[in-house]
Structure 1
């Protein structure tokens, strides 16, 4: 059964929702498959039908979250292009939308992302690599769409810009979780300036 089939399965959606609740209560490290089994009311066999470990389950939740965020971003930039064609505001808004969709320190996706980076698990590593490649490819497509509509300068290398945006995005996630001071958070306009200067 493929992951996409999992996501459309009601039982698996129930597992994902329960797991997110427990993560917010206890944190990633303290959450166990036993917790998930007890709270979901499902059998051990039902959980292991989908995943072999909690880290693999966390990876699938993160993948689902990333796809959801990217869909939100896609809607945002499509609207930005329609409302502000060929303008500096439109290009800034496009970059801003990308980072705003990843800006919640208490979002389970961000908590899982940080946790999974510390795990030595080949299946999890593969999920993280798939997420990286998926996000880079979709980011590149959207930047090219912005270029075609005059929102992003044609001189910018779309693939490099996508990689830079992801680099900042990963850094923002870590900063938000580690910092307790609002002053440490980077302004979106400053990120946009750095990216634009680096690529033009």
Structure 2
């Protein structure tokens, strides 16, 4: 087995075990010992990739962003001249923003509670910047393929979408909130912003 493949498998085991533990126990109760037992990885194997539990949580956030980006870009390759296909891949992920038991929502809220720790602040900044970067890339890609008007300000629109998505993720942790702005409304807003009539 090649070293790159081994790295991928180890990282995947680490992330899958961590996500399962988050569902079982929540972010606050998980220990590194729990992660080692669930993943069946040694402390050394884990610390080869990360320095702390918070860094593992950051990888969980990063993984979701990259998965969404891969689905979007794969759809662009197949349907480069349409708006509907690639945007459908983005829209599929929007309902998860409202789910209180969705792992990335739980992780984000947990990390936001630790934002005064320098390592966590750095993780949050990287997550925010990467989120904006990917949103901007998706908009620019649509503009390059002629399905999103050039008049759309990619920087401002990308940041607005990220701010709304973070707000929805945080709101998902509030008990018994009756939301009037839903993922369907967010989807409509995206379409209206990116395909003005």
| TM-score w.r.t. length of structure 1 | 0.76
2:104 is matched with: 109
Note the 1:46-125 alignment, pairs <5 A. 46-76=45-75, 81-82=80-81, 84=82, 90=83, 97-104=89-96, 105=99, 106-119=101-114, 120-125=116-121
Structure 2: runs of 5+ lacking an equivalent: none
Task: Say if 1:43 and 1:196 are closer, same or farther in 2 by CA, change over 3 A.
Answer: closer
Task: Say if 1:11 and 1:148 are closer, same or farther in 2 by CA, change over 3 A.
Answer: closer
Aligned partner of residue 48 in structure 2, secondary structure: helix
8 Å CA contact 2:68, 2:89 repeated in 1: no
Distance 2:69 2:5 in 1: 19
Distance 1:42 1:75 in 2: 32
Task: Say if 1:43 and 1:167 are closer, same or farther in 2 by CA, change over 3 A.
Answer: same
2:163 pairs with 1:167: yes
1:147 is matched with: 143
In the alignment, which of 182, 185, 190 is matched to residue 185 of structure 1?
A: 182
Tell me by how many angstroms 1:163 deviates.
0.7
| TM-score w.r.t. length of structure 2 | 0.77
